[in-house]
Amino acid sequence: MLAVAMVATGCKKADDNPNMGPAQEAGAAIDNAGAKAAAESREAAERVDAATDRAGEKIENAADRAGENIDQATDRAGEKMREAGAEVRQESREAAQDVKEGAANATAATGRAVERAGEKIQDASK
């Protein structure tokens, strides 16, 4: 690049700065290009840092929302389980009551049958 700058300037002093020779101009051009590249790199790094910060915040917010959703789902599941347990207990009570009523009906029917049998035995012994 230095050779290109020297050939382009023709090894004569610059018209705009008589104190600067072709080598100095080439060096200044290289310095300016390096400074520009460094500035662009810093700006790009700052943009990447900002984007990384935004992404981190979004991930944190998403994690918070996911945690809240899990908590809500757990609460709903727990409530549904309590409701289901209450329904099972109620149905068990109703089934037990039905069994008691059925047993009472069976006992009453057996008692009536025994009573009739007793009456028949008494009638037969007369």
Distance from chain centroid for Cα 36: 43
Q: Is 97 exposed, middle or buried (0-12, 13-18, 19+ CB in 10 A)?
A: exposed
> Phi/psi at 21 (nearest 5 deg)?
-90, 180
Task: pLDDT tens for the chain, 126 residues: list them.
Answer: 544 444 445 444 455 666 778 889 899 999 999 999 999 999 999 999 999 999 999 999 999 999 999 999 999 999 999 999 999 999 999 999 999 998 999 999 898 988 998 888 888 887
Six-digit token string for 40: 């662009």
Element spanning 6, H or E: helix 2-9
Q: Whole-angstrom Cα distance, residue 123 to residue 126? A: 5
